Amino acid sequence: MIFDCAIIGGGPAGLNAALVLGRARRKMVLFDDNKPRNAVTQESHGFITRDGVKPSEFREIAHRDIAKYPDVQFRPDKVTQVTKENEGEITFELVTEVGESYRARTIILATGLKEIFPSIPGIRDYYGKSIFSCPYCDGWELRNKPLVAITETEHAYRITKVVSNWSKDVILCTNGSDKLTPEQRQALKTKQISVYDQKIHSLAGANGLLKQIKFEDGSEILREGGFLAMPWKQATTIAESLGCEINTHLGIVTDVLGRTNIPGVYAAGDMSVNGPAQLINAAAEGSKAAIGVNTDLIEKEFI
88: left (phi over 0), alpha (psi -120 to 50) or beta: left
Residue 257 CB coordination number (10 Å): 17
Task: Please say whether the beta carbons of 34 and 10 come within 8 A.
Answer: yes
* Secondary structure (3-state) at 76: coil
Mean of all residue pLDDT scores within the chain = 93
Side-chain half-sphere exposure of 249, counting CA atoms within 13 A: 13
Q: What percent of the chain has pLDDT over 90?
A: 80
pLDDT band, very low/low/confident/very high, at 15 (cuts 50, 70, 90): very high
Q: 10 Å Cβ neighbour count for 222? A: 10
Lowest mean pLDDT among 3-12, 245-254, 258-267, 279-288: 245-254
CB 227 within 8 A of CB 131: yes
Per-residue pLDDT, 285: 95
Check if 2-114+231-301 and 117-225 are the same fold.
Answer: yes
- In this model, does residue 87 exceed pLDDT 80? no
Over residues 231-247, mean pLDDT? 92
For residue 178, pLDDT beyond 90 = no
Q: Which residue has the higher pLDDT, 23 or 302?
A: 23
Q: What is the CATH number of domain 2-114+231-301?
A: 3.50.50.60
The 10 Å Cβ neighbour count of residue 238 is: 21
Tell me the domain boundaries of the chain.
2-114+231-301, 117-225
Q: Which residues contact 5 (CB under 8 A, 6 or more apart)?
A: 21, 26, 28, 29, 104, 105, 106, 107, 108, 290, 293
Mean pLDDT of the 174-197 span: 96
Q: Which CATH number fits domain 117-225: 2.60.40.150, 3.50.50.60, 1.10.1040.10, 3.40.1360.10?
A: 3.50.50.60
Look at residue 46 in the predicted model and tell me its pLDDT. 86
User: Could you give the CA distance from residue 292 to residue 284 in angstroms, rounded to a whole number?
Assistant: 12
pTM score: 0.91
Which whole number is the average pLDDT over 207-221? 97
Q: Is the pLDDT of residue 88 over 70?
A: no
Q: Residue 293: phi, psi to the nearest 5?
A: -60, -50
229 forms bridges with which residues in the sheet? 151
- Return the ∠ at Cα 16 (arms to 13 and 21), rounded to 5°: 120
